[in-house]
Amino acid sequence: MTENTMLFVCPKCGEPLAPDGTRAICKGGHSYDRSREGYYNLLLGSRGGTHGDNREMVLARRAFLSGGYYEPLAKRVSEATLSVTPTGGAVLDAGSGEGYYTDAVERALFERDGKTCVLAFDISKDAVREVARKNKRISLAVAGSYHMPISDGRIDTVLNTFSPLAITEVGRVLRTEGAFVMAIPGEEHLYDLKCRVYDTPYKNTVSDTAIDGFSLSASEHIKYKFTLDSREKVKNLFMMTPYAYRTPREMKERVLTLDGLECTADFYLLTYRKLRNVNK
């Protein structure tokens, strides 16, 4: 963990955390151990149980994304973040998953100026471990989107790629006129996969993009086809989605026995600015 740990705060009292050997401590006396991988667990009430994506889902997502199938989106997320983030600022990936987009963004920012810090958290400890293995420059914590361990107005840009939208917390941690970059699935995203699984497949509902307290400054529709050429690759795609855990076994078999699949990637990349009167 780097000096950027100072941007995380104690989830119990809100005081800044400071590295102290293998721990992070706050003025209130609360202490958090640093893991072997270099992250801190700042998730309140996290003893026991599994939170967020399990290891199987995390590994499937890592394997799928390493194939470059979502690289066009990662590139555009990185470019959008660079365009709105000042040199030496702070970027927070709120709900980073296994870190595919976080890593792409951090590397682009590091190449640009070497000064902009990137923080990330996810509620899944397995996911955060993967981020830590990818990129040691990213400051990491296990935490939830609805209780972000960040001070008010401390972040220049918040990222959200397919994670729960805790917009009140996003507005709280962003500085005045800070940026919010969000990727959401389009209407036909993975519809081809659904057609192979369900008897009555459905398209995604794309909600109104208006967000109270924010102005939409840019919107981009990214849509293309990609081909999976093996049973293992089809399985990785399926197992990284929520469909794998809420689909009856007989329907799962329909997709897990496929030797290939042509699929549609359909995304909207939205960039917002926090309005001046938010959280004043």
Sheet holding 18-20, edge to edge: 18-20, 23-25, 31-33
Domains in the chain: ranges and CATH = 48-274 (3.40.50.150)
- Residue stretches of the chain with pLDDT short of 50: 1-5, 48, 280
Rounded CA separation 121/174 (Å): 16
CA distance 38 to 243: 32
Confidence (pLDDT) at 186: 97
Beta pairing partners, 41: 142
- Assigned token pair, 15: 């005081």
According to the model, what pLDDT value does residue 142 have? 97
Q: Please, which residues have CB within 8 angstroms of residue 250's CB and are 6 or more apart in sequence?
A: none
Size of the chain, expressed as the number of residues it contains? 280
